[in-house]
Amino acid sequence: MKKYLLIITILTAVSVNCSSQKKLNSTENLQTNLNSVENQQSNLNSDKQQQSEKSNPQKDLSFQNTKWLLKTIDGQQIESPPKPAYITFGDDDTFSGFSGCNGFSGSYYLSGDILKLDNVISTQRGCLGGNNPERLFFSVISRTDACTVIGNKLILTQMSAEIATFEGVNE
């Protein structure tokens, strides 16, 4: 009887030890799998970031304190006059620029992508020549209701329709 009791005790001890070893192996396998998943996720995030940088290699310029050179009005390319038209938005809710013939300034309100340009004043110089976009430029200022900056491009819109594009340059 003592023999059977001894054998049962030994088998129980071996069984408990094997069970503990299986749980330890299972825990180690789980940790290994978890590390593998974390590495795959990290690689995926790295790939996404690299793809994003390739598709948009240039970061968005700042709306404010960037000189925005006029490129198109109502879909029409603006020919380069001797002095290109531009606009710059300051930190103090004011803007200024050059329309191709006259200097101008005013105030602006920006909330999200909503943009309102007000209180425009300009010099009154007489402008000659066919390369001058001034009349069209001032019509854009009066019609603008929103804007978007994508890379080095500023897009002004009226009722979601693009009315002018500008290219940003840092000076």
pLDDT tens across 30-86, in order? 456 545 545 555 554 555 445 544 444 567 889 999 999 999 999 999 877 678 899
pLDDT in tens, 104-138: 999 999 999 999 999 999 999 887 766 667 888 89
Residue with the larger pLDDT of the pair 37 and 94:
94
Distances in Å between the Cα of 98 and the Cα atoms of 43, 68, 122 are 48, 10, 9
What does the pLDDT read at residue 155?
A: 98
> Which stretches of the chain are assigned E, i.e. beta strand?
67-73, 76-77, 86-89, 94-98, 103-111, 114-122, 146-150, 153-158, 161-169
pLDDT band at residue 27 using 50, 70 and 90 as cut-offs: low
Q: Which tokens hold the place of 64? A: 């404010």
Architecture of domain 67-169: Beta Barrel (2.40)
Q: Which residues pair with 167 in a beta bridge?
A: 69, 153
Helix (H, G, I), strand (E, B) or coil at 143: helix
Mean pLDDT, residues 96-101: 92
Residue with the larger pLDDT of the pair 6 and 136:
136
Measured between alpha carbons, how far is 162 from 171 in angstroms, rounded to an integer? 26
Residue 18 has pLDDT above 80, yes or no: no
CB neighbourhood size of 146 (10 A): 18
CB 106 within 8 A of CB 92: no
Residue with the larger pLDDT of the pair 16 and 105:
105
What average pLDDT does the structure give for the chain? 78
